[in-house]
Amino acid sequence: MTTNRILEIILGIISLIVVPVQLVTTFLLSILISITFGLLLFPLSIIWSVLFLFPLVGLSYAYEKTPILRIPLAIIGIPIAILGNIYSALIPSMGDIESRCTKLLITESFPYSWHYYQLTLKNSSIEYTNGFPFLLVFFDRINPKDKRLDYVYDLKKANNI
């Protein structure tokens, strides 16, 4: 839980810089994506998956399974989660809000990203893992005015949680 709190504090501080830049990059990249008829979204998605999704889910899985390595995994995972969050915030969603919510929640929920990813895959055995209750605590800390909370409610409802 400490790793997630550290990540939350750092992301809060960095958001003061990212949010104004996000307005500009989203506008400019939206124009480029429109010009390329959406083809630019494919390389952007591949970059997201290779650089952020797979490493975060893998580190989170190792964090769950090997408690002795939690500190080194947190030291490696926090910068990846921060960069992944910045990347997903700066890339336009182009109408796919669910995908953007998933990307942001995977980065913000580290070291419980593996649990979140399994929840999106509707893995019914995920509830019996050690870190799942901490993911639920993370969900409970989401601001009630945040639009991502609706997505979390739908995800919980789909998994009967």
Distance CA 31, CA 23 (A): 13
pLDDT mean across residues, the chain = 87
Distance CA 74, CA 71 (A): 5
| Per-residue exposure over 56-73, b if at least 16 CB sit within 10 Å of its own CB, e if not | bbebbbbbbeeeeebeeb
For residues 104-130, average pLDDT: 85
Q: What are 38-59's pLDDT values in tens digits?
A: 788 889 889 999 999 999 999 9
Is residue 139 helix, strand or coil? Answer: helix
pTM higher than 0.85, yes or no?
A: yes
Q: What is the DSSP string of 127-138?
A: GGSSSHHHHHHH
Question: Would you state the structure tokens that stand for residue 8, as one six-digit string?
Answer: 């939350």
Whether the pLDDT of residue 117 is over 80: the answer is yes
